[in-house]
């Protein structure tokens, strides 16, 4: 009986760290307020402190009101779907959230026929690195936070 008890103690000592670490797994969940519909407000150069806004010269108001709109919808706790309208064209793909507000947008499929300059700027979303979510504003940073895309929540 003592040999059995010794074996059980050793087994417990060996397995305990694995059991404890599996219970404390800290997944980076997609915040629920990240889900929803968004509209691009500006493309920002955070070094030169300049912003590019939508104008009649860089977009086509007759298509999607000249706007770039997107929808984020989580399909699991850390992975989601991204889709939307890039003024005249549509896009869809996946995004993934990890620690420290990191975001990766990948597997993006685009149609690119007759895209205005405003729409072309949005292709920088493929370089997304981190994000900040404050109220109804979402800022997606890329190029080591030297550039960003500012979006606002919309109701469709």
> Which pLDDT tens digit goes with each residue over 76-116?
889 999 999 999 999 999 999 998 999 999 989 998 788 99
pLDDT per 10-residue tile (average), the chain, 156 residues = 64 58 56 92 98 96 95 92 95 94 94 90 97 95 98 92
Gap between the Cα atoms of 26 and 80, Å rounded: 18
What is the pTM for the complete model shown? Answer: 0.81
Q: What is the mean pLDDT of the chain?
A: 88
Under CATH, what is the fold of the domain 32-154?
Lipocalin (2.40.128)
């Amino acid at each position: 009986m003592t040999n059995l008890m010794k074996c059980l103690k050793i087994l417990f000592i060996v397995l305990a760290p694995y059991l404890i670490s599996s219970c404390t797994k800290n997944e980076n969940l997609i915040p629920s307020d990240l889900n929803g519909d968004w509209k691009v407000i500006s493309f920002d150069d955070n070094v030169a402190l300049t912003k590019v806004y939508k104008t009649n010269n860089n977009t086509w108001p007759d298509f999607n009101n000249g706007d770039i709109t997107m929808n984020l919808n989580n399909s699991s706790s850390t992975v989601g779907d991204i889709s939307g309208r890039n003024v005249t064209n549509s896009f869809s793909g996946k995004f993934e959230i990890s620690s420290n507000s990191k975001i990766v947008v990948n597997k993006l499929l685009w149609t690119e026929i007759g895209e205005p300059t405003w729409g072309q700027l949005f292709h920088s979303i493929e370089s997304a690195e981190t994000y900040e979510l404050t109220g109804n504003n979402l800022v997606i940073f890329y190029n080591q936070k030297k550039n960003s895309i500012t979006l606002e929540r919309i109701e469709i």
